[in-house]
Every structure is written in structure tokens, then in C-alpha cells.
Amino acid sequence: MSILVTGGAGFIGSNFVLDWLAISNEAVINIDKLTYAGNLENLASLAGNEQHLFVRGDIGDAALITRLLAQHKPRAVVNFAAESHVDRSIHGPEDFIQTNIVGTFHLLEAARAYWNALEGEEKDNFRFLHVSTDEVYGSLSKTDPAFSETNRYEPNSPYSASKAASDHLVRAYHHTYGLPVVTTNCSNNYGPYHFPEKLIPLCILNALAGKPLPIYGDGQQVRDWLYVKDHCSAIRRVLEAGQLGEVYNVGGWNEKANLDVVRELCAILDELQPRADGQPYHTQITYVKDRAGHDRRYAIDATKLEKELGWKPSETFETGIRKTVQWYLDNQPWVTNVSSGAYQDWVNKQYTT
Ligand code: NAD
Ligand code: DAU
């Protein structure tokens, strides 16, 4: 038995593959295009593991996906592959349209043909799990209730619009063709192997390098934070017991303003690795130009997943952020490699006014 994972060299996908192979002996076929965000070093501990087959490729390459499905006969496809950074989608949306919409379409087509040809139990048990985001629901005011699965889709960035489109395609393939799909919409993840273009790893690494900690606008935008390994456990649970055609919101019950998140990680760094000059890290906080169309607040109501499937996050923000800061301190070679070359070009483009 095996599963096919897409985007398994990225932040969440690599955590998912590592956790999966740590607790299951079911093989993983991992297809990833290795864009700037895909990093095989995340999977270095799997070297020599025969249960892990890495294939460099594009989810939009229907011939490749068709061949991999026929060859390995996975019982499920778990689709993480995406362009995932909102700021990049504002600078250049095209890759987001290509991968998140067109790529998902080709993946769905290949999965549909494969599933159609299955028979009996293999056909009944097949699943297509689509990993999506809370950003498809748009932005909340301070007093709005958290997003539930029945909220209207109101995506505001090219990234969230492309993810919304992919969610609609996945839904349509269930309604029209009966493809056995489940979709998860998760809040902001953080944890090991997070690429340092996103708020938390960027601020940890900038703090340690003595650089400014860039806060967009007034820093009062609110996100719900979930430790990545809790997201992975939710996906495993939905894969195991999710109802066909259903959507499950995944969240950590950890709403925080950006400024508070950065202040909290600064305080942990003050304790674990104090600055040489004795000054607190929060003095590096700098307010910069706001993100265009910046969503003010996201919050997830994960009651359905908890009540129907019995899932709960195991980390609070306080425990998860401490583990995360410690992970970055303990993994300097990973940090050094990821902070070079193309990533630096991006940082320069994003942070020069
Ligand atoms: P990421 O950017 O770290 O990783 C994406 C991975 O997909 C990379 O390894 C990249 O090389 C690969 N990829 C990109 N285009 C591809 C293509 N055409 N074919 C094959 N592989 C391709 O992203 P992430 O943060 O790990 O997010 C994974 C998924 O989870 C995405 O679908 C994202 O929308 C969703 N999500 C992310 C978060 C979050 O907080 N990071 C929250 C909710 C949902
Ligand atoms: O909500 C789920 C989403 O979370 C995922 O779908 C996305 O793939 C993921 O990137 C993330 O999106 P955000 O835009 O919320 O994450 P990011 O880390 O880019 O930003 C978090 C908040 O911090 C957001 O309000 C913007 C702000 N920010 C971000 C950066 C990079 C800053 O203030 N300064 C920064 O330098």
C-alpha cells in the first residue's frame, strides 16, 4: 500500500511525509517540482528509506502523474503542492494560477482516470485529499464569529483566489464525477522547515542576524496559529475518517495579532540566546509599508473536525512557538543553506521601498 503526496518537499508537505513514515509502514511517493520553496534537505533524514520515493515533477504534468499512479497504485493522493506566499502572489500572480488552478485541474483529471479504472475495494477506498487554506473565506472584523465550513468564499488576494478556485474544482469533481474527495481548510501553520519568507521564521532569523523585524502596517492583523505537526495529524485523521465530499476546517484556537506573535518570539530568544549587547530583541521591530489588500483577521472554528472526527491540536501557541524557536537555533546548517542565493534576491525585492 502507498499514498502519493504532492509538494512533499515544502514546509507542511515535508513535515507530513516525515511524520507519516515515522508512524506508518505505508510507502510515500512524493512528487514535488522543487520551486524556490521546495527543499530536499527537509527530507535528508529519509536517505536510504525504501518507503520514500521522491520524484521531481509538476502536478500539471498529466503524463507523469498518470504514469506514477499506474505504476504505484496508491490508495490516496494528498495534494499539498501550491504556490503559497501571499506577497509573491501580489508581485506576480501567474505561477499561482498555473500551479494552484491549472495544476490541480490536471492532477484531478489524472486521479479521476485512475480511480475510474479501479475496481471493488480499491475503488471504494481511494481518496483525493486536497489541502487548502482559511484565506478562501476572506477577512473577518474583530467581532465576527470564526470561519465555519459554511462561510461564503470571499478570497482577497491572487493566492487565496487561486486556492478558492482549486477548492471549487475539487468539489465539482466529487459532485459531477463522484471522485472521492475530502478538503481541509487550515489556518496559519508554523514550526520546523518553515521557509523564511513567512512572518515567524523570517523574524526569528532576522532577530538572530541583528536585522529589522518588519511589521506590516500597524501589526494588529490577527491570524490563528497552528503548529505544523497538529495540521499533519488533522490531515491523517481526515484521510482516515473524513466523509466523502466534505470540508473540514483545521485551526489551533490561537488567535494572535502579528505584533504579539513577534514580541513573543523575541522574548523566547531573549531567554534562549540573549543578544550580546544585553538589549531585548523586540527593539529590532520596525514598521514597514502594509501588504496591499491585507486581510485584517482570520479565525477558524474547528468544531466539526473535533466533534465528528475527534481531532484536537496537541500544542498551544506557547508550547509550539518555543519548540519552533529552539528548532531554528538547533538547525543552523539548514538555515544557512536556505538563506542563500535566490531567497536573498526575493528578500531584497520585497523589502526595498
Ligand atoms: P510551501 O510553499 O512551503 O511548499 C509548497 C511545495 O509545493 C514546495 O515544495 C514546492 O516546490 C511545491 N510545488 C510548487 N508548485 C508545484 C507544482 N506545480 N508541482 C509540484 N510541486 C509544486 O507551502 P506550504 O506552506 O507547505 O503549504 C502547503 C499547502 O498547504 C499549500 O497548498 C497551501 O496552500 C496550504 N496551506 C498552507 C498553510 C500555511 O500556513 N503554510 C496554511 C493552510 C494551508
Ligand atoms: O491562513 C493560512 C495562510 O497562512 C496560508 O494559506 C498561506 O500559505 C501562508 O503563507 C499564511 O499566509 P499569511 O499571509 O497569513 O502568512 P505570512 O507569514 O506571510 O504573514 C502572516 C502575517 O504577518 C500577515 O498578516 C502578514 C504579516 N507580515 C508578514 C511578513 C512576511 C508582516 O507583518 N511582516 C512580514 O514581513
Q: Can you give the residue ranges of every domain in the chain?
A: 2-195+225-256+299-315
Please tell me if the CB atom of residue 82 comes closer than 6 angstroms to any atom of ligand 1.
Answer: yes
- When computed from its CA atoms, the radius of gyration of the chain, rounded to whole angstroms, is 20
Q: Is the pLDDT of residue 162 over 70?
A: yes
Of 32, 58, 83, 135, the active-site residue reads: 135
Q: What pLDDT is stored for residue 177 in this prediction?
A: 98
Q: Tell me the three cell numbers of residue 248.
A: 473540514
Residues with Cβ within 8 Å of residue 77, at least 6 apart in sequence: 3, 4, 5, 6, 69, 107, 111, 127, 128, 129
Please tell me if the CB atom of residue 30 comes closer than 6 angstroms to any atom of ligand 1.
Answer: no
Q: Is the pLDDT of residue 344 over 70?
A: no
Q: Could you tell me the distance, in angstroms and rounded to a whole number, from the CA of residue 221 to the centre of ligand 2?
A: 10
Query: Which region among 166-175, 246-255, 332-341 has the lowest average model confidence (pLDDT)?
Result: 332-341
Q: What is the pLDDT of residues 128-154, one digit of tens each?
A: 999 999 999 999 999 999 999 999 999
- pTM, two decimals, is 0.97
Q: Could you tell me the distance, in angstroms and rounded to a whole number, from the CA of residue 86 to the centre of ligand 2?
A: 7
Three-class secondary structure of residue 133 per DSSP? strand
Distance CA 343, CA 36 (A): 7
Q: What pLDDT is stored for residue 347 in this prediction?
A: 60
Q: What is the pLDDT of residues 29-80, one digit of tens each?
A: 999 999 999 999 999 999 999 999 999 999 999 999 999 999 999 999 999 9
Per-residue CA distances from 116 to 67, 112, 167, 170, 177 (Å): 15, 6, 21, 16, 9
Q: What pLDDT is stored for residue 71 in this prediction?
A: 98
Of 159, 173, 193, 298, the active-site residue reads: 159
Q: Tell me the three cell numbers of residue 15.
A: 513535515
Of 32, 134, 264, 315, the active-site residue reads: 134
For residue 219, which atom of ligand 2 is closest to its CA?
A: 33
pLDDT band, residue 345 (cuts 50/70/90): low
Question: What percent of the chain stands above pLDDT 90?
Answer: 95
pLDDT band, residue 340 (cuts 50/70/90): confident
Q: Is 190 a residue of the active site?
A: no
What's the rounded mean pLDDT across residues 275-283?
A: 98
Q: What pLDDT is stored for residue 339 in this prediction?
A: 86
Q: Is the pLDDT of residue 351 over 70?
A: no
> How high does pLDDT run on average in the chain?
96
pLDDT band, residue 341 (cuts 50/70/90): low
Q: What is the dihedral of CA 170, 141, 249, 307, to 10 degrees?
A: -140
Three-class secondary structure of residue 256 per DSSP? strand
Q: Are 177 and 112 spatial neighbours (Cβ–Cβ below 8 Å)?
A: yes
The C-alpha cell 485512475 sits at 114
For the domain bounded by 2-195+225-256+299-315, which CATH number is listed? 3.40.50.720
Q: What is the pLDDT of residues 76-108, one digit of tens each?
A: 999 999 999 999 999 999 999 999 999 999 999
For the chain, give the number of residues: 353
pLDDT band, residue 167 (cuts 50/70/90): very high
Q: Are 2 and 26 spatial neighbours (Cβ–Cβ below 8 Å)?
A: yes
Say which ligand is closest to the CA of 130.
1
Q: Is the pLDDT of residue 24 over 60?
A: yes
pLDDT band, residue 349 (cuts 50/70/90): confident
Q: Tell me the three cell numbers of residue 134.
A: 482559511
Nearest to 286 by CA among 201, 227, 206: 206
Give the closest residue (by CA) to ligand 2 atom 6. Answer: 133
Residues in the ligand 2 pocket, defined by CB under 6 Å: 84-86, 133-135, 187-188, 198-199, 202, 214-216, 221, 223, 258, 291, 298
Residue 203, H or E segment: helix 199-208
Per-residue CA distances from 212 to 159, 238, 259 (Å): 26, 40, 13
